[in-house]
Amino acid sequence: MGLMHKLRLPGPGETLPGRSIEMPVPPMHFVNGAGMKPPFPEGSETILVGMGCFWGPERKFWQTSGVITTAVGYAAGSTPNPAYEEVCSGLTGHNEVVLAVFDPEVVRYEQLLKVFWEGHDPTQGMRQGNDLGTQYRSGIYTYGEKQRALALASRTAYQAALERAGYGEITTEIQDAPKFYYAEHYHQQYLAKVPHGYCGMDGTGVACDIAPLAELVVA
């Protein structure tokens, strides 16, 4: 197969079968020692996003005040419990994603959306910089109507800001959060283990103003 098949999502009957066994991951976060898997602290909330290669975005989130724990994995495809090589083949439909659990009393969801929008270029389709493939697409996967409303409103606001700066149309997919599959242990908190490892994050330099989202926030 050539490169083109990796730039489109696989159709019915094209995806790999996967497996029933879950990927084993460390019980504790390498950076802060928090739990990597549920149950998470009472009152905490979750954000799930795709921003290209997941190593850099995970670091960005664990460095954000109010974030309790993070993990990288795969979501929004069809193959159950995929391996990294399978995701890279373009035949799972999955995206490389970051899951961040946060304390909403310390950091709000819309503040994390600002981290998301400013941390990558959401206009690039099935790529991010030099990384090409469906697993590098931009995505927000929402938990509940409040998150969905905020994600959609933020996309509209950021689109206007990008257009003023000369950028094209946002290609970010926004959909209900699908099942999250943990990535292999060596991917978790990778840039803390390999400080000078590859990081493909490269935002547009355009600020995301989240102030207009305040009216959508409900108690």
Q: Which two tokens stand for residue 11?
A: 């159709």
List strands edge to edge, sheet with 181-182.
Answer: 173-176, 138-142, 45-51, 95-102, 67-75, 181-182
Told to judge if 53 belongs to the known catalytic residues of this protein, a careful annotator would answer yes
Q: What is the C-alpha separation between 155 and 153, in angstroms, rounded?
A: 5
46 near 112, Cβ under 8 Å? no
Phi, psi of 71 (to 5 degrees): -155, 155
The residues annotated with a catalytic role in the active site are 53
